[in-house]
Amino acid sequence: MVFGDIGTSPLYAMKEVFSEAYSVTATHDHVLGAVSLVFWALMLVVSVKYVVFIMRADNRGEGGIMALIALVLRGTDAREDATKRRLLMILGIFGAALFYGDGAITPAISVLSAVEGLNVVAPALSDWVVPITLAVLIALFVIQSRGTGAVGTLFGPITLGWFLALGAGGLASIVQTPEVLGALHPGFGIAFLREQGLAALFVLGAVVLAVTGAEALYADMGHFGRAPIRLAWFGVVLPALVLNYYGQAALMLRDPTAIRNPFYLMFPDWAQLPMLLLATAATVIASQAVISGAFSMTRQAVQLGYCPRLAIAHTSEREIGQVYLPWINWMLLAAVVALVLGFQSSTALASAYGIAVTGTMAIDSVLAAMVFRRIWGWSYLRTFCFLGVFLTIDLAFFGANTLKILDGGWFPLTLGLIVFTLLTTWKRGRELLLRGLREGAIDLAPFVAGLEQHPPQRVPGTGVFLTADRDGVPHALLHNLLHNKVLHERVLMLTVSIGDVPYIAPEQRLEVEPLGASFYRVLIRYGFRDVPDVPAALEELPRHGLEFSMMETSFFLSRETVVPTVKKGMALWRERLFAAMVRNAGSAAAYFRLPPNRVIELGSQVEI
């Protein structure tokens, strides 16, 4: 699945270079120039930048823009570089937000371009392209709640078969017109760009379609490992893609009219229907990879405090990374259906595709350069060379795609800006909320000392009070003491900490600190890919000298009602947005897997 997005690009990339909208004719030199640009984009952006360099920047084996954010923040001094840290964090969040724009377009354009093979295989069924596409996509999103385990075993063989077919079809076409291999020389691409002048920007906007999915190789590194991805890329995927692109170019040299759909026309008549079915299956797998990526990134955003708690279902007992988020699933489906109905063809959708991808790629280059300099200790010269080469390429592609904004590029940008606003509003709102809670909080140490001098009535059992502020008394504890006039014989002040690493070792999970008066400060640590399970973690309390029985334990949670004010903090509209997000956030009890019959929630109002 890791190569699904980039592996289905041959369905539409070469065709879009010669789209009627760009007025680029399929002459001999133009075809060689275009395929040369595609080849060198694959080599420089994917092979060198991502596979060779950026995949080395892993956060304990995990990749993706969230891993880069964690590494960059870890490598910046919190006191001396507070402003820089904030800017880098905002940049990273914006890159993550753009992923959702890409996540909506990839399934739409991939499946639509595959089903458009009907225009070649059975022209009489052309009117059914959009309905069939919608049916395939809706079915794909509907089955998400069941997980991919049942069909996941087929993904590998289908994907391998797809790349073998890509390579075989391209090789057969190249054998007929071997002169196309001359375009391996970069001079053809450079000459093509010079000749096109201003129109070269439109061409680059189409060429970038060949490298969409490069960021997914890095993002999925935690699932598959750096070495297997590199081996598969250089051993199977890259050769198959190059053969296919050059095979399409060879076909266009023989028959310039084949630009209407060079991918399918490259195959003999008897192979076109099987290729249509195989392409549809491959694009479904590519779409599944993007959907799973959206689920995984959202889960990480929740864990790291950038997103409200959402309902998360784990669809596999064996694979911890297989999760399903209903809200994200249905929002993506709505966006995908709107795209298919609104644009109707892969050519029209190509106008919307690319700007989110190239924006994320440029941000990856900047963040990776920061990691190389601050953590790896690269010299300024070496870092500047890396950033100068690859950021120039990224910005050239991004600039080319800005020309598509009015023709559809506004969609992923708008979606990305909406997600960015939500993520940053939640992050800032949580900071203000915690500040408000601390302002009215009682210090824990003198409170415990007072209880030792004037002990209240104690009742059997354990009371667990969840709190984000380890040094203050939780509001829920104060309310319980005020109204019920009692405390449990053991009181745990529990804080759950989500670190910027993917996993926390079990032996480092639990920390217990006695405070006196049978009060204990308990810290449970998780990584951003761990599944928070508080009851399971508390089962380890006996190792720290504390008794624990779930049937004698009550969990007390504070549910805050946010009151927007004109106080310094955020704009009033953002405070109201944050208040709405708090009201609709998922239950902390469900998120931390607390047994419902052992949970008591006590509310309070907090002004921000």
For the stretch 33-48, pLDDT in tens is 999 999 999 999 999 9
* Residues 87 and 225 placed together within one structural domain of the fold: yes
- Domain end, chosen from 367, 392, 409, is at 409
Q: What local confidence, expressed as pLDDT, does residue 437 receive? A: 78
The secondary structure element, H or E, covering residue 158 is helix 149-176
Query: Is 31:252 a contact under the CB 8 Å cutoff?
Result: yes
* Residues 376 and 455 placed together within one structural domain of the fold: no
Q: What local confidence, expressed as pLDDT, does residue 348 receive? A: 84
- Answer yes or no: is 417 within a domain: no
Whether 317 shows a pLDDT value over 60: the answer reads: no
Q: Is 489 left (phi over 0), alpha (psi -120 to 50) or beta?
A: alpha
Whether 179 shows a pLDDT value over 90: the answer reads: yes
Confidence class of residue 318 from pLDDT cuts 50, 70 and 90? low
* Residues 504 and 361 placed together within one structural domain of the fold: no
* Residues 257 and 299 placed together within one structural domain of the fold: yes
Query: Is 561:533 a contact under the CB 8 Å cutoff?
Result: no
Q: What local confidence, expressed as pLDDT, does residue 309 receive? A: 84
- The mean per-residue pLDDT over the stretch 490-514 comes to 89
Query: Is 432:568 a contact under the CB 8 Å cutoff?
Result: no
- State the Cα torsion 477-480-483-484 to the nearest 10°: -130
Greater confidence (228 vs 315) lies with 228
CATH code at position 190 = 1.20.1740.10
The secondary structure element, H or E, covering residue 603 is strand 599-607
- Answer yes or no: is 221 within a domain: yes
Q: What local confidence, expressed as pLDDT, does residue 316 receive? A: 59
* Residues 286 and 201 placed together within one structural domain of the fold: yes
Q: What local confidence, expressed as pLDDT, does residue 403 receive? A: 81
Confidence class of residue 172 from pLDDT cuts 50, 70 and 90? very high
Q: What local confidence, expressed as pLDDT, does residue 406 receive? A: 82
Residue position matching structure tokens 């390579």 = 167
Pairing of strands 510-516, 486-498: unpaired
How far apart are alpha carbons 422 and 507 in whole angstroms?
35
Greater confidence (313 vs 490) lies with 490
- The mean per-residue pLDDT over the stretch 441-456 comes to 85
* Residues 386 and 464 placed together within one structural domain of the fold: no
For residue 529, the enclosing domain spans 440-607
- Domain end, chosen from 409, 425, 453, is at 409
Torsions phi, psi of 516, nearest 5? 100, 160
Q: What local confidence, expressed as pLDDT, does residue 517 receive? A: 87
Torsions phi, psi of 225, nearest 5? 95, 150
Averaged pLDDT of the chain: 86
Confidence class of residue 373 from pLDDT cuts 50, 70 and 90? confident
Structure tokens given for 176? 């007929």
* Residues 400 and 460 placed together within one structural domain of the fold: no
Whether 89 shows a pLDDT value over 50: the answer reads: yes
Question: pLDDT digit string (tens) for 561-602?
Answer: 888 887 777 888 998 999 898 888 888 888 899 998 999 888
- Answer yes or no: is 415 within a domain: no
* Residues 465 and 378 placed together within one structural domain of the fold: no
Tell me which residue of 4, 262, 16, 236 sits closest to 110, measured CA to CA.
4
Non-local CB neighbours of 281 within 8 Å, separated by 6+ positions? 158, 162
- The mean per-residue pLDDT over the stretch 525-537 comes to 88
Most confident of 230-234, 352-356, 372-376: 230-234
Greater confidence (364 vs 608) lies with 364
Q: What local confidence, expressed as pLDDT, does residue 151 receive? A: 55
Question: pLDDT digit string (tens) for 101-135?
Answer: 877 888 998 899 999 888 888 888 888 999 999 99
Whether 24 shows a pLDDT value over 60: the answer reads: yes
Please report, in angstroms and rounded to a whole number, the separation of the first and last CA atoms in the chain: 44
Q: b or e along 230-263 (b: 16 or more beta carbons within 10 Å of the residue's beta carbon)?
A: bebbeebbbbbbbbbbbbbbbbbbeeeebbebbb
- Chain centroid to Cα 350, Å, comes to 21
Whether 607 shows a pLDDT value over 80: the answer reads: no
Structure tokens given for 550? 């779930």
- Answer yes or no: is 421 within a domain: no
Q: What local confidence, expressed as pLDDT, does residue 315 receive? A: 66
Torsions phi, psi of 518, nearest 5? 60, 25
Whether 79 shows a pLDDT value over 60: the answer reads: no
Q: What local confidence, expressed as pLDDT, does residue 522 receive? A: 94
Whether 454 shows a pLDDT value over 60: the answer reads: yes
* Residues 241 and 337 placed together within one structural domain of the fold: yes
- The mean per-residue pLDDT over the stretch 406-418 comes to 86
Q: What local confidence, expressed as pLDDT, does residue 200 receive? A: 78
- Answer yes or no: is 51 within a domain: yes
* Residues 245 and 362 placed together within one structural domain of the fold: yes
- Answer yes or no: is 427 within a domain: no
Helices (H), 177-225: 186-196, 200-207, 214-219, 221-224
The secondary structure element, H or E, covering residue 496 is strand 486-498
For residue 565, give the 3-state DSSP assignment.
Answer: coil
Task: Please state, for a pLDDT cut of 70, what percent of the chain lies above it.
Answer: 95
* Residues 405 and 536 placed together within one structural domain of the fold: no
- Domain end, chosen from 409, 425, 460, is at 409
Q: b or e along 55-78 (b: 16 or more beta carbons within 10 Å of the residue's beta carbon)?
A: bebbbeebbbbbbbbbbbbebbee
Q: What's the structural domain count of the chain?
A: 2
Greater confidence (315 vs 182) lies with 182
Question: pLDDT digit string (tens) for 320-367?
Answer: 556 788 888 999 999 999 999 988 888 888 878 888 888 888 988 988
Non-local CB neighbours of 459 within 8 Å, separated by 6+ positions? 486, 487, 488, 489
- Answer yes or no: is 336 within a domain: yes
Whether 60 shows a pLDDT value over 50: the answer reads: yes
* Residues 370 and 474 placed together within one structural domain of the fold: no
Separation in Å, CA 521 to CA 202, 298, 488, 541:
60, 30, 15, 12
Whether 17 shows a pLDDT value over 70: the answer reads: yes
Question: What is Dmax (Cα atoms) for the chain?
Answer: 94
- The mean per-residue pLDDT over the stretch 250-269 comes to 91
Whether 407 shows a pLDDT value over 60: the answer reads: yes
How far apart are alpha carbons 152 and 361 in whole angstroms?
28
- Chain centroid to Cα 205, Å, comes to 23
Confidence class of residue 78 from pLDDT cuts 50, 70 and 90? very low
